[in-house]
Structure 1
Amino acid sequence: MDVTAPAHRLSAAVSAASRLLPARAGLRLRADAAGLTVAGSDPDLAVRFDCPATAHTDGSVTVPAAPLAETLKMLDGLVRLVVEGSRLALRLDNARFALPLLSTESGPPVPEPPRVSEVDGGAFASALRIVAGTASKDDPLPLFTGVRLQADSRLTLTASDRYRMAVARLPLLSPGSLDVLVPATLLTEAARQAKGTVGLHAGPGRFGLSWPGGLVGTAVLDAGFLSEDSIPSSAVDTKVTVEADALAAAVRRVGVYAEDRRVLTLEVGDAQVRLASARQDTGEAEETLKAEVSGGRTSPSFQARYLLDALQAFAGERVELSIQPGMRACILRAAEAGEVELTYYLMPMLAR
């Protein structure tokens, strides 16, 4: 193999693949008339990124991902990759770096399940950032570490860590059928790389995202139990509409005075909400905001950081809080409908 490529474009492709693959993974580099392809896989995951390049001699090699990524980050201009015996040399006008060649038997080829639909990449990434934020980071039950994707006429994203749940619905560019549970961390990183129109792929036990120049495919989790239908939402007796940014700012200030669990109380009155918290060693705080209120007075308590996460999902908008009695979930939605429909369920806490 002998190929020349822009260092910054090759670095972007190699770094994207390295972030998704295990730390000690190898990368397969393939050069042909179409350019340079960077690919890698393990039993559960496969990635592929394209890079513009001029192939002098077609060929394919496998090299360690980490040192290749670190080296390319520090290079500029054009870099020539050429096989020299048992090494892949990276050559510039005034420098040479050489990496060992690995066995080409490093895993199956990148699978490409059938494409079932398409979605706008920007809207998908924006909705996913919010939804994936509610997935558990480390849980013995894998279903709480994933994002469920369901498609028919729209795409629905759902995630939960059992204390909160976020559900986003956004339009599809073409109808399709899909129901999979995908690891949230992987899905978020893949969506961050995606540009333009994103293809949604599904096959037996696998899911994939594709976009011009990239493909990520992964094994899926069991999607059966993660559903907003499992959360009671028919007992709403109070609704509060308020500027999300103003309420979030008040939560930050008042939350400083909360106890170690950082629980604060949201007291709903006539045309206002009052935030209150107290901490034995630093004192107490309260702040009142004007709001539109319908229904009875109530005083649910929430963990401050969870309430803040929920409000940040509606930054720049007015948010409607639908409050249920007792320990039932509070439901947050945008007061004015947008292209992406977001619903955020937040469990109350017992006040001290």
Structure 2
Amino acid sequence: MDLTAPTAALASAAADLVRLVPGKLIDPVLSGVLLTATAAGVQLAASDRERTAAVSAGAVVHTDGQVLVPAKPLAETLRALTAPEVRLVVEGNRLAIRASGARFALPLLDHTLHPGVGSVSGDGGLVSGSAFATALATVASTAARDEALPVFTGVRVRSEGDRLVLRATDRYRMAIASLPWSADGDIDVMVPATLLAEVGKQVAGVGQARLTAAENQFAVSWGRTEVTTAVLDGSYLSETKLALSDVDTRVVVDAESLQAATRRVALYSDARGVVRVEVGDSELRLRATDHNAGEAEESLKATITGGRTSPSYQSRYLLDALRPFTGEVELAIQPGMRATVVTALEPGEVDLRYIIMPMLPPKP
């Protein structure tokens, strides 16, 4: 294999690949990047047997070929280079990385042992890259990170007519995002949230992304990138199983003002980080107290309808619930220890709902 490519483009492709498939350090083959050079350019691919990714880049290929080399050293070397062009050429049992006045060499691994990357054929559709990124920024971060509970570590991706709905929960909160999409079939899969979080970062600047689902497989493709993954069992995940019909208090308040006040008052919260939200006639009063830190309270204007239910929340969950919103939001509060639903007063292209569970108030 022998090729010449723009350094920045090749470095970007390698970096994207490593973030999508971090690799398994205990297996050198699964920690490698499979480089395939053809007349069309060069493809960089990786697999950990559960997920795969392939990223293509433009290159002038002098000699076709395929090699497997350690992924992270390749990505880090390309990122560190300042020369405008780089040459990759096989020299004996090494892949030489040549730039102006410099040479680096990576060991060749046995590419015949690499599982390769496949594609997924099935139903799916197209979504706006920016809208998909906006939805994933909130929903994917709501999933649990505890691998001991794998059913809570995914995002349910489900088509509902002309909308694509994403849902995730860690049992204490749930985020639901709905966005328009152009479908050629229905999909309903549970996708690992860690992968979708990275996908969301990479699709933010692209026009469209295609989602495809088949039995036990899911794929996202955009530009020169395609990612596939095995799916989780998550058909259970639905907000319909939550009691959301007993709302007795509705509060309209500026999201950024409430977020800022919560952040300040939470400095005085107890070990659980609990902040009490007291609902008045035309204001919210946030209170927190801790026997060691002291106490704090702050009021802000709000429009109140219905009752005066005053819940308490873990401050970090309340902050996470408010972070995606700008402008005014509505808090639909239920009495007792029932969930609160946060929504934008004027939804945009991505319709987002954030459901949080209250906490027991701090002891006086």
Q: Same-fold call, TM > 0.5?
A: yes
Does residue 80 in structure 1 map to residue 87 in structure 2? yes
Deviation track 1:267-303 (CA, whole Å, cap 9, x = no partner) reads: 1111111111111123211111111110011211001
Q: Is the 8 A contact 1:42 1:107 kept in 2?
A: no
Displacement of 1:211 after TM fit? 0.5
Q: Is the 8 A contact 2:68 2:108 kept in 1?
A: yes
Match of 2:33 among 20, 27, 31: 27
Runs of 4+ aligned residues of structure 1 deviating over 4 Å after TM superposition are: none
Structure 1 residues 175 and 233: alpha-carbon distance in aligned structure 2, compared to 1, 3 A threshold: farther
CA distance in 2, matches of 1:299, 1:50: 54
Alignment partner, residue 130 of structure 1 = 138
CA distance in 1, matches of 2:220, 2:79: 25
Q: Is the 8 A contact 1:120 1:198 kept in 2?
A: yes
The TM-score, its normalising length taken from structure 2, stands at 0.94
CA distance in 1, matches of 2:131, 2:225: 18
Deviation track 1:88-119 (CA, whole Å, cap 9, x = no partner) reads: 11112311111111111233332211261010
Displacement of 1:174 after TM fit? 3.3
Match of 1:332 among 318, 332, 342: 342
Alignment partner, residue 14 of structure 1 = 14
Alignment partner, residue 181 of structure 2 = 172
Amino acid at match of 2:294: G
Displacement of 1:158 after TM fit? 0.4
Displacement of 1:175 after TM fit? 4.8
Amino acid at match of 1:35: G
> Secondary structure of 1:43's match?
coil
Deviation track 1:251-279 (CA, whole Å, cap 9, x = no partner) reads: 01111111111101111111111111111
CA distance in 2, matches of 1:324, 1:139: 32
Amino acid at match of 2:336: G
Q: Is the 8 A contact 1:118 1:174 kept in 2?
A: yes
CA distance in 2, matches of 1:180, 1:256: 40
Displacement of 1:168 after TM fit? 0.3
Displacement of 1:7 after TM fit? 1.1
Deviation track 1:23-63 (CA, whole Å, cap 9, x = no partner) reads: 43111111111111101112111100011100011111111
Match of 1:141 among 141, 146, 149: 149
Does residue 113 in structure 1 map to residue 123 in structure 2? no
Alignment partner, residue 244 of structure 1 = 255
CA distance in 2, matches of 1:211, 1:232: 38
Q: Is the 8 A contact 2:269 2:293 kept in 1?
A: no
Amino acid at match of 1:209: V
Does residue 99 in structure 1 map to residue 109 in structure 2? no
CA distance in 2, matches of 1:261, 1:238: 25
Match of 1:155 among 152, 164, 167: 164
Alignment partner, residue 296 of structure 1 = 307
Q: Is the 8 A contact 2:309 2:334 kept in 1?
A: no
> Secondary structure of 1:236's match?
coil
CA distance in 1, matches of 2:318, 2:102: 53
Q: How many aligned residue pairs are there?
A: 351
Which range moves more in the overlay, 14-23 or 196-205?
14-23
Q: Gaps (5+ residues) in structure 1?
A: none
